[in-house]
Amino acid sequence: MVSFTKLVTAALLSTSTFAAPLNIFQKRSGSKRGAAYKEASLVSALTNGGAVSWAYNWNSSPDGDLPPGVSFIPMLWGQKSLDGWSSAVQSALSSGSKYILGFNEPDLPSQANMAVSDAASLYRENITPYADQATLMTPAVTNGNAQNQGLNWMSSFLESCSDCKASVMAIHWYGTDADDFKNHVTSAVTLAQQHGIQEVWITEFGVNDISQAASFLLQVLPWLDSQEGVGGYAYFYCASGYLLDGTGLSASGQVYASS
């Protein structure tokens, strides 16, 4: 496996983003960083130095034990996840969860696939009632540019669900360019603030070329940690072939787990 020092050196030589190489070794806050996972036992690989403080698994129950100091965030994935939702979210809140995630990519036919009006009604009925017990996040939308996708879908949702008591906007992003990622997050923060929401969480994001993941993360992690409008983020994802190599850290995982 490539050493972390060699990885950082190579990434810095391949991009002009970092004018001062030593900056990458300065301590970064881990309070925003999360883990998207399918197997709870694997999350411990990312917790070195306290870099990861929260985790979710696209589900309402943790399905295993997370490492100490890592808070689970339940999600109501979509219409098909309503069975058992009430008891599961109450269990999560009783166990210390402080946030609740809305639907997973309702603007995408292959995911939650929901019209704005349906999403608003479902959110109001099943998530809003917990506003006095947790911080509520909006549905997480893609970075699609169609009229009924991405931030366009989100804008319509926020208008339709102004009484839903969501105080965090959740978004996803996949692409090839760090500058495009930063621009998209900035646009999301602007939209959120227009609706009185002060935090955006990027609960799922990734660069399309996995071989570029380590370099991409070196560019965007310090930026995310410096943005006041960004409250949390989770790179896709805690599994072998992504942030892990088997049960250990991959090259990108070494970057993500560093604090």
Domain ranges of the chain: 34-257
The band of 3, judged by pLDDT with boundaries at 50, 70 and 90, is very low
CB 118 within 8 A of CB 102: no
Rounded-to-integer distance, Cα 204 and Cα 137, Å: 14
**pLDDT by residue (tens digit) across 15-62?**
333 333 323 333 334 489 999 999 999 999 999 778 899 999 999 999
pLDDT mean across residues, the chain: 90
Q: What is the pLDDT of residue 50?
A: 80
**pLDDT by residue (tens digit) across 205-222?**
999 999 999 999 999 999
Q: What is the pLDDT of residue 48?
A: 77
Closest to 160 (Cα-Cα) out of 125, 119, 113:
119
Q: What is the pLDDT of residue 25?
A: 30
pLDDT at residue 228 tops 70: yes
Q: Residues with Cβ < 8 Å from 102, sequence gap 6 or more? A: 75, 76, 123, 127, 136, 137, 138, 139, 140, 166, 170
Judged on CB neighbours under 10 Å (0-12, 13-18, 19+), 137 is: buried
pLDDT at residue 199 tops 60: yes
Q: What is the pLDDT of residue 10?
A: 45
Rounded-to-integer distance, Cα 57 and Cα 73, Å: 8
State how far the alpha carbon of 79 is from the alpha carbons of 53, 113, 159, 247, in Å: 28, 9, 21, 33
pLDDT at residue 83 tops 60: yes
| % the chain with pLDDT above 90 | 86
Q: What is the pLDDT of residue 259?
A: 63
CB 4 within 8 A of CB 248: no
State the fold for domain 34-257.
TIM Barrel (3.20.20)
List, in sequence order, the alpha helices (H) in the chain: 4-13, 85-94, 116-126, 150-160, 178-194, 213-226, 251-257
**pLDDT by residue (tens digit) across 135-189?**
999 999 999 999 999 999 999 999 999 999 999 999 999 999 999 999 999 999 9
Instruction: Output the CA torsion sign for 240, 243, 245, 247.
Output: negative
Across the strands, what pairs with 234?
Answer: 34
